[in-house]
Structure 1
Amino acid sequence: MSSLAPQRREPGELFGPRFTLFADMLAVGLAATVASVPLITAPTAFAASCAVLRRSIREDRPVTMGEYVGEFRAPGLRRVLLAGVAVFAAVTLVVLDLALAGAGLPGARPMSWALIAVAVAGLVVALRAAADPEVARGWRPALNRAATRSAADPMGCALIVTAAGLCVAFVWMLPLLALLLPGPLAFAITAVELRSEPAHDGGDDAGVGSGG
Protein backbone atom coordinates (compact mmCIF):
# COMPACT_ATOMS: atom_id res chain seq x y z
CA MET A 1 0.00 0.00 0.00
CA SER A 2 1.24 3.44 -0.80
CA SER A 3 0.67 4.73 2.73
CA LEU A 4 3.06 2.15 4.12
CA ALA A 5 5.95 3.33 1.97
CA PRO A 6 8.56 5.65 3.54
CA GLN A 7 7.47 9.26 3.28
CA ARG A 8 9.64 12.35 3.61
CA ARG A 9 8.57 15.30 5.71
CA GLU A 10 8.19 18.54 3.84
CA PRO A 11 10.33 21.51 4.92
CA GLY A 12 8.67 23.23 7.87
CA GLU A 13 6.26 20.34 8.48
CA LEU A 14 6.19 19.48 12.19
CA PHE A 15 4.52 16.10 12.35
CA GLY A 16 4.41 14.57 8.87
CA PRO A 17 1.65 12.57 7.16
CA ARG A 18 1.44 9.96 9.91
CA PHE A 19 0.19 12.55 12.37
CA THR A 20 -2.40 13.68 9.82
CA LEU A 21 -3.74 10.12 9.62
CA PHE A 22 -3.82 9.92 13.43
CA ALA A 23 -5.77 13.19 13.65
CA ASP A 24 -8.17 12.00 10.94
CA MET A 25 -8.69 8.76 12.85
CA LEU A 26 -9.71 10.64 16.00
CA ALA A 27 -11.91 13.06 14.05
CA VAL A 28 -13.66 10.16 12.34
CA GLY A 29 -14.16 8.52 15.73
CA LEU A 30 -15.84 11.65 17.07
CA ALA A 31 -18.00 11.91 13.94
CA ALA A 32 -19.07 8.28 14.37
CA THR A 33 -19.98 8.94 18.00
CA VAL A 34 -22.15 11.90 17.02
CA ALA A 35 -23.78 9.92 14.20
CA SER A 36 -24.48 7.10 16.68
CA VAL A 37 -26.46 9.27 19.10
CA PRO A 38 -29.80 7.78 17.92
CA LEU A 39 -28.19 4.36 18.73
CA ILE A 40 -29.98 2.63 15.86
CA THR A 41 -27.59 4.36 13.46
CA ALA A 42 -24.47 3.03 15.24
CA PRO A 43 -23.70 0.15 12.81
CA THR A 44 -23.88 2.43 9.78
CA ALA A 45 -21.86 5.15 11.54
CA PHE A 46 -19.09 2.65 12.26
CA ALA A 47 -19.18 1.25 8.74
CA ALA A 48 -18.82 4.78 7.36
CA SER A 49 -15.75 5.25 9.57
CA CYS A 50 -14.15 2.13 8.11
CA ALA A 51 -14.97 3.26 4.57
CA VAL A 52 -13.39 6.71 4.83
CA LEU A 53 -10.33 5.42 6.68
CA ARG A 54 -9.86 2.69 4.08
CA ARG A 55 -9.90 5.27 1.31
CA SER A 56 -7.58 7.55 3.26
CA ILE A 57 -5.05 4.74 3.70
CA ARG A 58 -5.28 3.54 0.12
CA GLU A 59 -5.14 6.97 -1.49
CA ASP A 60 -2.85 8.52 1.12
CA ARG A 61 -4.94 11.67 1.57
CA PRO A 62 -6.83 13.37 4.42
CA VAL A 63 -10.41 12.54 5.35
CA THR A 64 -13.14 15.15 4.93
CA MET A 65 -16.37 15.36 6.90
CA GLY A 66 -18.29 15.64 3.64
CA GLU A 67 -16.85 12.29 2.63
CA TYR A 68 -17.92 10.77 5.94
CA VAL A 69 -21.45 12.14 5.61
CA GLY A 70 -21.62 10.74 2.08
CA GLU A 71 -20.60 7.28 3.26
CA PHE A 72 -23.07 7.44 6.14
CA ARG A 73 -25.95 8.31 3.81
CA ALA A 74 -24.95 5.85 1.07
CA PRO A 75 -26.91 2.79 2.31
CA GLY A 76 -30.22 4.64 2.49
CA LEU A 77 -32.58 5.00 5.45
CA ARG A 78 -34.08 1.51 5.15
CA ARG A 79 -30.75 -0.29 5.36
CA VAL A 80 -29.60 1.98 8.18
CA LEU A 81 -32.68 1.11 10.24
CA LEU A 82 -32.55 -2.60 9.44
CA ALA A 83 -28.87 -2.83 10.43
CA GLY A 84 -29.55 -1.04 13.71
CA VAL A 85 -32.55 -3.19 14.58
CA ALA A 86 -30.66 -6.40 13.77
CA VAL A 87 -27.68 -5.44 15.93
CA PHE A 88 -29.77 -4.45 18.92
CA ALA A 89 -31.91 -7.59 18.59
CA ALA A 90 -28.75 -9.73 18.60
CA VAL A 91 -27.33 -7.91 21.63
CA THR A 92 -30.62 -8.24 23.50
CA LEU A 93 -30.80 -11.95 22.73
CA VAL A 94 -27.27 -12.57 24.01
CA VAL A 95 -27.88 -10.57 27.19
CA LEU A 96 -31.14 -12.42 27.90
CA ASP A 97 -29.50 -15.80 27.26
CA LEU A 98 -26.62 -14.94 29.60
CA ALA A 99 -29.11 -13.84 32.25
CA LEU A 100 -30.99 -17.13 31.94
CA ALA A 101 -27.75 -19.12 31.99
CA GLY A 102 -26.72 -17.34 35.19
CA ALA A 103 -30.00 -18.03 36.95
CA GLY A 104 -28.71 -21.17 38.64
CA LEU A 105 -29.92 -23.63 36.03
CA PRO A 106 -28.06 -26.94 35.57
CA GLY A 107 -25.11 -26.57 33.21
CA ALA A 108 -25.22 -22.79 33.53
CA ARG A 109 -21.43 -22.32 33.61
CA PRO A 110 -20.59 -24.17 30.37
CA MET A 111 -23.63 -22.60 28.71
CA SER A 112 -22.42 -19.13 29.70
CA TRP A 113 -18.95 -19.75 28.25
CA ALA A 114 -20.49 -21.12 25.07
CA LEU A 115 -22.70 -18.03 24.73
CA ILE A 116 -19.71 -15.74 25.28
CA ALA A 117 -17.76 -17.58 22.59
CA VAL A 118 -20.66 -17.25 20.16
CA ALA A 119 -21.03 -13.56 21.00
CA VAL A 120 -17.32 -12.90 20.42
CA ALA A 121 -17.41 -14.76 17.11
CA GLY A 122 -20.48 -12.79 16.06
CA LEU A 123 -18.81 -9.52 17.04
CA VAL A 124 -15.73 -10.33 14.96
CA VAL A 125 -17.83 -11.17 11.90
CA ALA A 126 -19.95 -8.05 12.35
CA LEU A 127 -16.87 -5.80 12.66
CA ARG A 128 -15.27 -7.35 9.59
CA ALA A 129 -18.55 -6.88 7.71
CA ALA A 130 -18.56 -3.20 8.70
CA ALA A 131 -15.10 -2.86 7.13
CA ASP A 132 -16.25 -4.51 3.89
CA PRO A 133 -15.91 -2.01 1.02
CA GLU A 134 -19.30 -3.11 -0.36
CA VAL A 135 -21.26 -3.02 2.91
CA ALA A 136 -23.31 -0.01 1.73
CA ARG A 137 -24.91 -2.30 -0.86
CA GLY A 138 -26.19 -4.70 1.77
CA TRP A 139 -25.20 -6.12 5.14
CA ARG A 140 -26.20 -9.72 4.41
CA PRO A 141 -23.67 -10.36 1.63
CA ALA A 142 -21.09 -8.36 3.62
CA LEU A 143 -21.68 -10.66 6.60
CA ASN A 144 -21.31 -13.73 4.39
CA ARG A 145 -18.00 -12.46 3.03
CA ALA A 146 -16.86 -11.54 6.54
CA ALA A 147 -17.65 -15.02 7.82
CA THR A 148 -15.63 -16.55 4.98
CA ARG A 149 -12.69 -14.24 5.68
CA SER A 150 -12.87 -15.00 9.39
CA ALA A 151 -12.75 -18.75 8.80
CA ALA A 152 -9.73 -18.34 6.52
CA ASP A 153 -7.93 -15.80 8.71
CA PRO A 154 -7.92 -16.79 12.41
CA MET A 155 -4.95 -14.50 13.07
CA GLY A 156 -6.97 -11.55 11.80
CA CYS A 157 -9.82 -12.56 14.11
CA ALA A 158 -7.40 -12.64 17.05
CA LEU A 159 -6.14 -9.17 16.15
CA ILE A 160 -9.71 -7.81 16.00
CA VAL A 161 -10.57 -9.36 19.37
CA THR A 162 -7.43 -7.79 20.82
CA ALA A 163 -8.31 -4.38 19.38
CA ALA A 164 -11.85 -4.56 20.75
CA GLY A 165 -10.55 -5.70 24.14
CA LEU A 166 -8.11 -2.79 24.27
CA CYS A 167 -10.94 -0.37 23.49
CA VAL A 168 -12.98 -1.80 26.37
CA ALA A 169 -9.97 -1.47 28.68
CA PHE A 170 -9.40 2.15 27.62
CA VAL A 171 -13.04 3.05 28.25
CA TRP A 172 -12.88 1.34 31.65
CA MET A 173 -9.80 3.39 32.58
CA LEU A 174 -11.04 6.68 31.11
CA PRO A 175 -14.72 6.71 30.08
CA LEU A 176 -14.36 9.95 28.10
CA LEU A 177 -12.25 8.06 25.56
CA ALA A 178 -15.46 6.40 24.40
CA LEU A 179 -16.15 9.53 22.34
CA LEU A 180 -13.06 8.92 20.18
CA LEU A 181 -12.54 5.16 20.22
CA PRO A 182 -14.77 4.29 17.23
CA GLY A 183 -12.05 5.83 15.04
CA PRO A 184 -9.10 3.78 16.37
CA LEU A 185 -11.22 0.62 16.36
CA ALA A 186 -12.32 1.24 12.76
CA PHE A 187 -8.70 1.92 11.81
CA ALA A 188 -7.51 -1.31 13.45
CA ILE A 189 -10.15 -3.45 11.72
CA THR A 190 -9.52 -1.76 8.37
CA ALA A 191 -5.79 -2.42 8.76
CA VAL A 192 -6.50 -6.10 9.46
CA GLU A 193 -8.64 -6.34 6.34
CA LEU A 194 -6.15 -4.49 4.13
CA ARG A 195 -3.22 -6.68 5.13
CA SER A 196 -4.66 -9.54 3.09
CA GLU A 197 -5.65 -7.44 0.07
CA PRO A 198 -3.38 -6.72 -2.90
CA ALA A 199 -2.15 -3.17 -3.15
CA HIS A 200 -3.41 -1.14 -6.12
CA ASP A 201 -3.53 2.45 -7.26
CA GLY A 202 -5.69 4.86 -5.31
CA GLY A 203 -7.46 5.90 -8.50
CA ASP A 204 -9.46 2.70 -8.55
CA ASP A 205 -10.71 3.30 -5.04
CA ALA A 206 -11.53 6.86 -5.88
CA GLY A 207 -13.69 5.67 -8.75
CA VAL A 208 -15.52 3.24 -6.50
CA GLY A 209 -16.06 5.88 -3.84
CA SER A 210 -17.39 8.42 -6.26
CA GLY A 211 -19.74 5.84 -7.72
CA GLY A 212 -21.16 5.08 -4.29
Structure 2
Amino acid sequence: MTQVPALPPSEGREPGEVFSSGFTLFADMLLVGLLTAVTCLPVVTAPAAFAAASATLRRAVEDQAPVDTGTYARHLRARLTRGSLAGGLAVPLLACVLLVDSALARTTLPGADLMAPALALLTLGSAVLALRATALPPPHALSPREALARSLADLRGTLLLAGAVVLAALLAWSIPVLIPLLPGPLVFAATAVDLRHAGEGEDPAGDGGTRN
Protein backbone atom coordinates (compact mmCIF):
# COMPACT_ATOMS: atom_id res chain seq x y z
CA MET A 1 0.00 0.00 0.00
CA THR A 2 1.48 3.31 -1.09
CA GLN A 3 1.97 5.82 1.68
CA VAL A 4 1.23 9.45 1.03
CA PRO A 5 4.20 11.59 2.07
CA ALA A 6 3.48 14.06 4.84
CA LEU A 7 3.35 17.64 3.70
CA PRO A 8 5.75 20.05 5.39
CA PRO A 9 4.21 22.71 7.57
CA SER A 10 3.28 25.82 5.64
CA GLU A 11 5.44 28.93 5.87
CA GLY A 12 4.76 31.00 8.95
CA ARG A 13 3.01 28.13 10.76
CA GLU A 14 4.50 26.13 13.56
CA PRO A 15 3.93 22.35 13.76
CA GLY A 16 0.60 21.72 15.43
CA GLU A 17 -0.52 25.34 15.00
CA VAL A 18 -3.98 25.59 13.48
CA PHE A 19 -3.72 29.12 12.13
CA SER A 20 -0.77 30.81 10.45
CA SER A 21 1.02 33.82 11.88
CA GLY A 22 -0.76 36.00 9.33
CA PHE A 23 -4.13 35.01 10.78
CA THR A 24 -2.82 35.73 14.28
CA LEU A 25 -1.79 39.22 13.20
CA PHE A 26 -5.23 39.71 11.67
CA ALA A 27 -6.88 38.72 14.95
CA ASP A 28 -4.53 41.05 16.85
CA MET A 29 -5.51 43.88 14.51
CA LEU A 30 -9.22 43.29 15.18
CA LEU A 31 -8.67 43.17 18.94
CA VAL A 32 -6.66 46.40 18.89
CA GLY A 33 -9.31 47.98 16.68
CA LEU A 34 -12.09 47.17 19.12
CA LEU A 35 -10.06 48.46 22.07
CA THR A 36 -9.32 51.64 20.16
CA ALA A 37 -12.97 52.16 19.23
CA VAL A 38 -14.03 51.84 22.88
CA THR A 39 -11.25 54.13 24.08
CA CYS A 40 -12.20 56.76 21.49
CA LEU A 41 -15.72 57.15 22.91
CA PRO A 42 -14.76 60.19 25.06
CA VAL A 43 -13.44 61.76 21.79
CA VAL A 44 -10.57 63.65 23.47
CA THR A 45 -8.81 60.33 24.05
CA ALA A 46 -8.73 59.50 20.32
CA PRO A 47 -5.07 60.51 19.69
CA ALA A 48 -3.83 58.51 22.67
CA ALA A 49 -6.04 55.55 21.73
CA PHE A 50 -4.68 55.36 18.17
CA ALA A 51 -1.10 55.92 19.37
CA ALA A 52 -1.45 53.11 21.91
CA ALA A 53 -2.86 50.82 19.23
CA SER A 54 0.04 51.56 16.90
CA ALA A 55 2.59 50.98 19.66
CA THR A 56 0.93 47.67 20.53
CA LEU A 57 1.00 46.43 16.92
CA ARG A 58 4.55 47.70 16.44
CA ARG A 59 5.71 45.73 19.50
CA ALA A 60 3.87 42.64 18.28
CA VAL A 61 5.64 42.80 14.92
CA GLU A 62 9.12 43.76 16.09
CA ASP A 63 9.36 41.75 19.32
CA GLN A 64 6.86 38.96 18.54
CA ALA A 65 5.06 39.98 21.74
CA PRO A 66 1.47 38.86 22.32
CA VAL A 67 -1.30 41.40 21.94
CA ASP A 68 -3.66 41.65 24.89
CA THR A 69 -5.66 44.24 26.76
CA GLY A 70 -2.93 44.65 29.38
CA THR A 71 -0.33 45.61 26.79
CA TYR A 72 -2.71 48.05 25.16
CA ALA A 73 -3.62 49.57 28.54
CA ARG A 74 0.05 50.13 29.41
CA HIS A 75 0.69 51.91 26.12
CA LEU A 76 -2.49 53.93 26.59
CA ARG A 77 -1.49 55.14 30.06
CA ALA A 78 1.90 56.23 28.72
CA ARG A 79 0.25 58.32 25.98
CA LEU A 80 -2.59 59.88 27.94
CA THR A 81 -0.86 63.22 28.44
CA ARG A 82 -2.05 66.80 28.49
CA GLY A 83 -0.74 67.21 24.97
CA SER A 84 -2.65 64.24 23.60
CA LEU A 85 -5.86 65.32 25.34
CA ALA A 86 -5.43 68.84 23.96
CA GLY A 87 -4.99 67.32 20.51
CA GLY A 88 -8.16 65.36 21.07
CA LEU A 89 -10.07 68.63 21.47
CA ALA A 90 -9.22 69.40 17.85
CA VAL A 91 -11.40 66.51 16.70
CA PRO A 92 -14.80 68.01 17.69
CA LEU A 93 -13.61 71.51 16.71
CA LEU A 94 -12.66 70.31 13.24
CA ALA A 95 -15.97 68.46 12.94
CA CYS A 96 -17.88 71.66 13.79
CA VAL A 97 -15.90 73.66 11.23
CA LEU A 98 -16.55 71.05 8.55
CA LEU A 99 -20.28 70.99 9.33
CA VAL A 100 -20.53 74.77 9.11
CA ASP A 101 -18.50 74.91 5.90
CA SER A 102 -20.50 72.09 4.32
CA ALA A 103 -23.70 73.97 5.12
CA LEU A 104 -22.28 77.09 3.48
CA ALA A 105 -21.19 75.02 0.47
CA ARG A 106 -24.85 74.18 -0.23
CA THR A 107 -25.79 77.86 -0.47
CA THR A 108 -25.53 80.23 -3.42
CA LEU A 109 -22.55 82.11 -2.02
CA PRO A 110 -19.67 82.86 -4.44
CA GLY A 111 -17.18 80.00 -4.50
CA ALA A 112 -19.63 77.49 -3.01
CA ASP A 113 -18.93 75.07 -5.87
CA LEU A 114 -15.27 74.90 -4.88
CA MET A 115 -16.01 74.48 -1.20
CA ALA A 116 -17.06 70.81 -1.36
CA PRO A 117 -13.87 69.42 -2.98
CA ALA A 118 -11.75 71.69 -0.78
CA LEU A 119 -13.44 70.35 2.34
CA ALA A 120 -12.99 66.77 1.15
CA LEU A 121 -9.27 67.32 0.59
CA LEU A 122 -8.92 69.09 3.92
CA THR A 123 -10.63 66.23 5.75
CA LEU A 124 -8.57 63.60 3.94
CA GLY A 125 -5.31 65.44 4.55
CA SER A 126 -6.10 65.95 8.23
CA ALA A 127 -6.94 62.26 8.68
CA VAL A 128 -3.73 61.12 6.96
CA LEU A 129 -1.62 63.54 9.00
CA ALA A 130 -3.31 62.40 12.22
CA LEU A 131 -2.67 58.73 11.41
CA ARG A 132 0.96 59.51 10.65
CA ALA A 133 1.31 61.28 14.00
CA THR A 134 -0.23 58.44 16.00
CA ALA A 135 2.01 55.85 14.31
CA LEU A 136 5.25 57.63 15.24
CA PRO A 137 7.50 55.85 17.75
CA PRO A 138 9.07 57.65 20.71
CA PRO A 139 10.47 60.28 20.97
CA HIS A 140 8.40 61.61 18.05
CA ALA A 141 5.07 60.13 19.19
CA LEU A 142 2.10 62.38 18.36
CA SER A 143 4.35 65.07 16.86
CA PRO A 144 2.48 66.95 14.09
CA ARG A 145 5.73 68.45 12.77
CA GLU A 146 7.40 65.06 12.41
CA ALA A 147 4.23 63.59 10.90
CA LEU A 148 4.15 66.36 8.28
CA ALA A 149 7.83 65.86 7.50
CA ARG A 150 7.39 62.12 7.01
CA SER A 151 4.25 62.64 4.93
CA LEU A 152 6.15 64.91 2.55
CA ALA A 153 9.24 62.70 2.47
CA ASP A 154 7.24 59.52 1.82
CA LEU A 155 4.60 60.45 -0.73
CA ARG A 156 3.94 56.84 -1.68
CA GLY A 157 3.15 55.95 1.92
CA THR A 158 0.99 59.06 2.22
CA LEU A 159 -1.02 58.03 -0.84
CA LEU A 160 -1.44 54.52 0.58
CA LEU A 161 -2.77 55.96 3.82
CA ALA A 162 -5.10 58.26 1.90
CA GLY A 163 -6.48 55.22 0.07
CA ALA A 164 -6.99 53.44 3.38
CA VAL A 165 -8.89 56.43 4.78
CA VAL A 166 -11.12 56.65 1.70
CA LEU A 167 -11.85 52.92 1.84
CA ALA A 168 -12.67 53.14 5.56
CA ALA A 169 -15.01 56.07 4.91
CA LEU A 170 -16.81 54.13 2.17
CA LEU A 171 -17.19 51.11 4.44
CA ALA A 172 -18.51 53.27 7.29
CA TRP A 173 -21.03 54.87 4.93
CA SER A 174 -22.20 51.65 3.28
CA ILE A 175 -21.94 49.21 6.23
CA PRO A 176 -22.22 51.20 9.50
CA VAL A 177 -22.04 48.03 11.60
CA LEU A 178 -18.33 47.79 10.67
CA ILE A 179 -17.46 51.15 12.23
CA PRO A 180 -16.15 49.64 15.53
CA LEU A 181 -13.74 47.45 13.52
CA LEU A 182 -12.35 50.19 11.26
CA PRO A 183 -9.75 51.64 13.67
CA GLY A 184 -7.83 48.35 13.52
CA PRO A 185 -7.09 48.38 9.76
CA LEU A 186 -6.37 52.13 9.86
CA VAL A 187 -3.85 51.73 12.68
CA PHE A 188 -2.34 48.70 10.96
CA ALA A 189 -1.94 50.67 7.71
CA ALA A 190 -0.36 53.65 9.48
CA THR A 191 2.05 51.44 11.44
CA ALA A 192 3.03 49.44 8.35
CA VAL A 193 3.68 52.62 6.36
CA ASP A 194 5.84 54.07 9.14
CA LEU A 195 7.81 50.84 9.54
CA ARG A 196 8.39 50.68 5.79
CA HIS A 197 9.51 54.31 5.74
CA ALA A 198 11.90 53.68 8.64
CA GLY A 199 13.27 50.59 6.90
CA GLU A 200 13.89 52.48 3.66
CA GLY A 201 15.70 55.19 5.61
CA GLU A 202 18.25 52.76 7.03
CA ASP A 203 21.63 52.42 5.34
CA PRO A 204 21.87 48.82 4.03
CA ALA A 205 25.68 48.91 4.19
CA GLY A 206 25.63 50.20 7.73
CA ASP A 207 28.43 52.72 6.94
CA GLY A 208 26.34 55.90 6.87
CA GLY A 209 26.46 55.97 3.09
CA THR A 210 30.23 56.50 2.85
CA ARG A 211 32.04 54.66 0.12
CA ASN A 212 35.72 54.22 -0.64
TM-score, length of structure 2 as denominator length: 0.81
For the residue of structure 1 that corresponds to 2:197, the secondary structure is coil
State the percentage of identical aligned residues.
44
Residue type matched to 2:116 in 1? S
Instruction: State the alpha-carbon separation in 2 of the partners of residues 153 and 72 from structure 1.
Output: 27
Provide structure 1 residue ranges, at least 5 long, that are not aligned to the other structure.
Answer: 1-5, 200-212
Instruction: State the alpha-carbon separation in 2 of the partners of residues 198 and 138 from structure 1.
Output: 18
Number of corresponding residues:
191
Bigger radius of gyration among the two: 2
* Aligned counterpart, 2:126: 122
* Aligned counterpart, 2:205: none
- Which protein has the bigger helix share? 1
Query: Using a 3 Å threshold, how does the CA distance of structure 1 residues 193 and 138 change in structure 2: closer, same or farther?
Result: closer
1:169 and 2:170 are equivalent in the alignment: yes
* Aligned counterpart, 1:49: 53
Residue type matched to 1:93 in 2? V
* Aligned counterpart, 2:64: 60
Instruction: State the alpha-carbon separation in 2 of the partners of residues 153 and 8 from structure 1.
Output: 29
Greater RCO structure (CA 8 Å; 6+ sep):
1
1:154 and 2:158 are equivalent in the alignment: no
Residue type matched to 2:99 in 1? V
Residue type matched to 1:170 in 2? L
Q: Is the 8 A contact 2:36 2:53 kept in 1?
A: yes
For the residue of structure 1 that corresponds to 2:79, the secondary structure is coil
TM-score, length of structure 1 as denominator length: 0.81
Write the deviation string for residues 57-76 of structure 1: whole angstroms up to 9, x where unpaired: 11223212111111111133
* Aligned counterpart, 1:102: 106
* Aligned counterpart, 1:81: 85
Instruction: State the alpha-carbon separation in 2 of the partners of residues 100 and 173 from structure 1.
Output: 25
